[in-house]
Amino acid sequence: MPSSIHIDSHPRWGGGQAQSLGLALALAARGEETWFIAQPGSELESRLYGAYLRWEAMPLRGLAGLRSLSRLARTLGELAPDIVHIHESASHFVSGLAARGVEGPRIVVTRRTGSPLRRAWLAKMQYRLWCDRLICVSEAVRSRCREAGLPEALLTVIPDFVDCRHFDPGARQGEARPDSEPTVVTVGRLAAGKGHRVLLRAMREVAKAVPASRLLICGTGEEEAALRSMAVALGISDRVRFLGFARDVREVLARADVFAMPSLSEGLGVAALEAMAMEKPVVASNAGGLRESVVHGETGLIVPTGDAGGLASALIELLSDRGRATRMGREGRQRALDQYDRPRIVERTVNLYSELLTGEHERP
């Protein structure tokens, strides 16, 4: 079984960090030798305490990362992993350089963003020199990589996963909610790219059509103050609740009639997968991989990106038709089980590791 070291230096917790840690834990549970490197002081580091993983905190971002280069190279030389799996771009330069400096490991990088590659010339250099296989979490992400000039032979699509046993609709969490409060939920970092402003404008129209409706916004971020002010300006502050960071989002998802994901850009949309696993119909924008994870008319509705009116109409449609929403929720959970459940995705990742090590996938 291949041994692996996983590197994620992101300081905050998000969908990517749930994926990197979840993969490492799943590999360790299979009996595979697994290590983890996280950013000091990060939420990831705090979650590694007590985890059944060997791990270390090491700064790998920016100038601090360059100062850690020799330390990381020594660590990789001592551990001698078969695979070095880098889960975010900020540490790719240092991590890839360190991994190429020791004998043996193959380098796997996961790209989760649907945005165009910034500084495409630098990204191409890094991927060509310090990457044996680039995992794209959706076909949309692979298309972006192709547009940047990365060779097809470098790219493999393996989607992010959802743990369908953890996100179990049969064990509803949180407070009871009377049926008189049709509830829209969104979960994600409060950042411009997540489309919360579009959602607030849509919610003003939803409130007119479904007077008892409310919106629960779960997450923190730099947009929070502006979004709170916008809710007041739109006259819907009494319909919108900002819940902050939730360590366990099942408690929030359990209160939803409809889940909204109005992102302006998205690699795949792990939050949508989690909502689907909880049997919630999803209304999502036509951004990146969301149109792959959410099947329009079956597990939810897809609306044009940035279109507040279209988003409002879709939310009103599902809030007003509980039967259809329920059917979509059930279809969504089945899709999550069939396509995105964690054991399936872990197995695909392990197979990729093995193919790299046996030479079935040579470097382009």
> Do 138 and 289 meet the contact criterion of CB atoms below 8 Å apart?
yes
> Do 158 and 191 meet the contact criterion of CB atoms below 8 Å apart?
no
What is the Cα–Cα distance from 309 to 11, expressed in whole angstroms? 35
Q: How many CB atoms lie within 10 A of CB 116?
A: 12
What is the Cα–Cα distance from 166 to 152, expressed in whole angstroms? 35
102's CB contacts (< 8 A; 6+ apart) are 73, 76, 77, 80
Structure-token pair, residue 291: 């149109």
> Do 217 and 240 meet the contact criterion of CB atoms below 8 Å apart?
yes
pLDDT on residue 121: 72
* Amino acid letter, 136: C
pLDDT on residue 178: 47
Q: Give the burial string for 65-103 (b: 16+ CB within 10 Å, else e).
A: beebbeebbebbeebebbbbbbbbbbbbbbbbbbbbebe
Q: What CA–CA distances, in Å, run from 115 to 144, 172, 339?
A: 7, 35, 24
Residue with tokens 């689907």: 276
Domains and CATH numbers, the chain: 4-161+341-358 (3.40.50.2000), 183-340 (3.40.50.2000)
pTM above 0.85, yes or no: yes
pLDDT on residue 116: 80
Low-confidence residues of the chain, pLDDT below 70?
A: 120, 172-180, 360-364
Ordered alpha helix ranges (H), 133-269: 139-147, 196-209, 224-233, 250-253
Q: How many CB atoms lie within 10 A of CB 292?
A: 17
- pLDDT tens digits for range 277-325: 999 999 999 999 999 999 999 999 999 999 999 999 999 999 999 999 9
- Crossing angle between the packed helical segments 92-100 and 69-79, to the nearest 10 degrees: 50
Q: What CA–CA distances, in Å, run from 246 to 22, 26, 177, 194?
A: 17, 23, 18, 17
Q: Is the sign of the CA dihedral 296, 299, 301, 306 positive or negative?
A: negative
Structure-token pair, residue 89: 């771009």
> Do 117 and 136 meet the contact criterion of CB atoms below 8 Å apart?
no
